[in-house]
Amino acid sequence: MNPTARLLLAATLFGVLPAAPSFARPEYAARENAACNHCHVVPGGPRNFRGLFYAANNHSLAAFDNQYEAKLAGVDPAAVGGDAVTKTPNYPRRTVPAGLNYIYPDIEGNRVNLARYAGSVVMIVNVASQCGNTPQYAALQKLYEKHKERGLVVLGFPCNDFGAQEPGTEKEIQAFCTEKYKVTFPMFAKVAVKGQKQAPLYRRLTDKAANPKFGGEIEWNFAKFLLNRKGEVIGRFAARTSPDDPELVMAIEAALKEK
């Protein structure tokens, strides 16, 4: 009798679950340093969508955004087995807007492909917790709540580049935002928005060649870039500009009306 069979027999006889070796991680899980339930809801059970994606495409799961990929594939992100089989012809071939072709960890460390927001009107803001502009969180949240059903999403990127006004950890930043300002719009891990360590997203946003009309170095915390549903930058608003500024609101309203 082989080791797996002995373990299964023991589980049957003594009413206990077999130890981990009965579900030895397959090669791809070992390569990704992920447990089997990364690709199976129950180890040894049918694959979930993430597992089917890996098996079909042999792509790394390190940057896999289940929500984004499932949307493209036309399946429920929680689907397993036959329900998780892609419904979209030629998936995973897709065209991603250049302005959203980036992957970043959110404030809880989950990888997020910004392309999941393609088709939405996106406002990207570099935020900080100890700045004179910090109260703008309240107006950003209000703006998001008012327009999110129509397709607006606000993306907050904490940065410590200006006056060291975001010194905390992601956990501390998240607690501050949610407890003090009740923030529910997507927040990301800390990034650099200028200098040698500048995040690629901000390198593109500020690059005069890639973004000739709205490029230029970020001036301070709470600078705002507005992207239309195609992922194109259509506006930039200064750090001191309040999110409820009439000109900014007008620009959002106009972008939301576009199909």
SS3 track for the chain: CCHHHHHHHHHHHHCCCCCHHHHCCCHHHHHHCCCHHHCECCCCCCEEHHHHHHHHHCCCCCCCCHHHHHHHHCCCCCCEHHHHCCCCCCCCCCCCCHHHCCEEEECCCCEEEHHHHCCCEEEEEEECCCCCCCCHHHHHHHHHHHHHHHCEEEEEEECCCCCCCCCCCHHHHHHHHHHHHCCCCCEECCCECCCCCECHHHHHHHCCCCCCCCCCCCCCCCCEEEECCCCCEEEEECCCCCCCCHHHHHHHHHHHHCC
Global pTM? 0.78
Fold classification of 98-257 (topology level): Glutaredoxin (3.40.30)
The pLDDT of residue 45 is: 80
The pLDDT of residue 35 is: 74
The pLDDT of residue 226 is: 98
Identify which has the larger pLDDT, 92 or 138: 138
Confidence class for position 62, pLDDT limits 50, 70, 90: low
Does residue 106 have a pLDDT over 70?
Answer: yes
Domain boundaries, the chain: 21-94, 98-257
Catalytic residues: 131
Output the average pLDDT for the chain. 86
* pLDDT (tens digit per residue) in 192-247: 999 999 999 999 999 999 999 999 999 999 999 999 999 999 999 999 999 999 99
